[in-house]
Amino acid sequence: MLQYEPFLSLVLALFAGLLIGMERQQNAGLETERTEILGGARTHPLVALVGACSMLLTRQTGPALLLVILGGFLVFLALSYAHDLRTTGSRGLTSEVAILLTFLLGAFSAAGESMLPVHQKIIVVSSVSVVATLLLSVKPKFHALLRKATKDDVFATLKFLLVALVVLPQLPNETMGPLAVLNPYKIGLMVVLIAGISFTGYVAIRALGTHQGLGLTGVLGGLASSTAVTLSLSGRAKEEPRLVDSFTMAIVLASSIMFLRVLVTVAILAPGLVPSLAIPLSAMAGGGFVASAILWRQSRLRNAPEGGEIKFTNPFELATAFKFAAVFAVVLLAAKAATTYFGNGATYLTGILAGSTDVDAITLSMARLTQTGNIGIPVAVTTILLGVASNTLVKAGMSGVAGGWAFGRRIALLFSGLLVLGALGLVFVWRM
């Protein structure tokens, strides 16, 4: 294998150069700041090969040769940038940085095993090449997303990163408090997990827009907040009764996504619960998707109605994060205490009450207690499903209050059907 390593390095460098070069060539007609690009589908592979050959030569001559070639390359890029600045007034550095990265990727492709094993080198070079190509190709959409972003969005993003990358690692990873079920690090991790899921949905909504279609709003809103979708669309259903099927479809679709979101969350945190939860939650989600498809066909609408987008606020605020952490800790402690002192019945009541306001808190609590062995799988599964059912019924009530009795009755009937499917799925699981 070692005798073929130089050839493998050259092929890897060629791959990186081709990938970036093809994107630059395709993007040539879209560049507005210059009449032609600095390098295309031929130049970038050649630059990558120059970097690779330079690194191969340094194995015999030492690093001085590579530094000389890199220095000459930087002088060339500086002269090219100065020429563009003088002739076109362009201050962009994207093309220069892209071709410099191609050179460095080529050099890294030919680095010896003393720096990095071959298999890891392939992964690193390939990953960087793909990410760089993606960043270069998404320029229009990325700029459009930045134009949509507000200062509040940027501030909320920084606060999310502060909690996830700075605060979370500092939390003690040990149980403490009464009944020894409160772990600050685990609680913080749950906050980051749920905030991350909601944040991803919010970014997608901001990037794509809710006006693209109520179906899209239902899917993305289900990731961010199915309750927000229910409240927003129920109010609009009262104003635009002719679109009641479309609004109903989006609400049912958002809740169906919520069922799957619960299943994914459990799969990440407590895989042992998945076999028991997969059937009832999938049955509810599947029933919701079928109902949504029927409603979509009835509505015969391809786009969301005019009259403004549905407003979603940024889901991450420090106050909200602390509130969720407190709720999660209280539910965790209450569920453990209920099981210890009053039996499983009290745990089920805790699930119903907690689920009426936040299905994530009870889901994460049961997953955590199952992993630590404080609650059995049957109790955890039943409690999670009771929380999901409670949350679904509360949303049905919200739709009636915000959208009127007729609209609320439609939602209640559909949600009741989904809950019946979930109950049948649970009975099937227990009889297996």
Q: What is the pLDDT of residues 319-351, one digit of tens each?
A: 666 766 776 677 667 666 665 666 556 778 777
Residue 95's nearest CA partner among 42, 16, 21 is 21
| Cβ atoms within 10 Å of 285's Cβ, excluding its own | 24
Entry field: residues in the chain = 432
Check pLDDT > 70 for residue 212: no
- pLDDT computed for residue 417 by the predictor: 93
Check pLDDT > 50 for residue 94: yes
Instruction: Express as a percent the part of the chain with pLDDT over 70.
Output: 72
* Residue 249 one-letter amino acid: M
Contact 400, 409 (CB under 8 A): yes
Instruction: Express as a percent the part of the chain with pLDDT over 90.
Output: 11
Confidence of residue 211 (pLDDT cuts 50, 70, 90): very low
Q: What residues does each domain of the chain span?
A: 2-137, 145-431
Confidence of residue 206 (pLDDT cuts 50, 70, 90): low
Report the distance separating Cα 106 and Cα 6, nearest Å: 12
- pLDDT computed for residue 305 by the predictor: 47
Report the distance separating Cα 204 and Cα 201, nearest Å: 5
More confident residue, 256 or 241: 256
Report the distance separating Cα 367 and Cα 351, nearest Å: 13
- pLDDT computed for residue 304 by the predictor: 45
Lookup result for tokens 């907690």: 354
DSSP line for 75-132: HHHHHHHHHHHHHT-----HHHHHHHHHHHHHHHHT--TTTS-HHHHHHHHHHHHHHH
- What are the φ and ψ backbone dihedral angles of 166, each rounded to 5 degrees? -110, -55
**Which pLDDT tens digit goes with each residue over 220-238?**
667 766 776 777 677 767 7
- pLDDT computed for residue 265 by the predictor: 86
Confidence of residue 217 (pLDDT cuts 50, 70, 90): low
Structure tokens at 2: 């070692």
**Which pLDDT tens digit goes with each residue over 100-120?**
899 999 989 888 776 777 778
* Residue 381 one-letter amino acid: V
Check pLDDT > 60 for residue 240: yes
Give the residues across from 182 on adjacent strands: 176
- pLDDT computed for residue 190 by the predictor: 64
- Give burial (CB, 10 Å; 0-12/13-18/19+) of 110: buried
- pLDDT computed for residue 317 by the predictor: 60
Check pLDDT > 90 for residue 352: no
Confidence of residue 214 (pLDDT cuts 50, 70, 90): low
**How does the average pLDDT of the chain come out, rounded?**
77
Confidence of residue 34 (pLDDT cuts 50, 70, 90): very low
**Which pLDDT tens digit goes with each residue over 384-416?**
898 899 889 888 887 888 788 888 899 999 999
Contact 246, 299 (CB under 8 A): yes
More confident residue, 374 or 20: 20
**Which pLDDT tens digit goes with each residue over 142-199?**
666 666 666 767 777 777 788 778 888 888 887 776 766 677 887 777 677 656 655 6
Check pLDDT > 60 for residue 1: no
Range of 45-59, 296-310, 352-366 with top mean pLDDT: 45-59
Contact 331, 362 (CB under 8 A): yes
| Cβ atoms within 10 Å of 385's Cβ, excluding its own | 25
Report the distance separating Cα 191 and Cα 314, nearest Å: 15
Check pLDDT > 60 for residue 313: no
Range of 48-57, 196-205, 223-232 with top mean pLDDT: 48-57
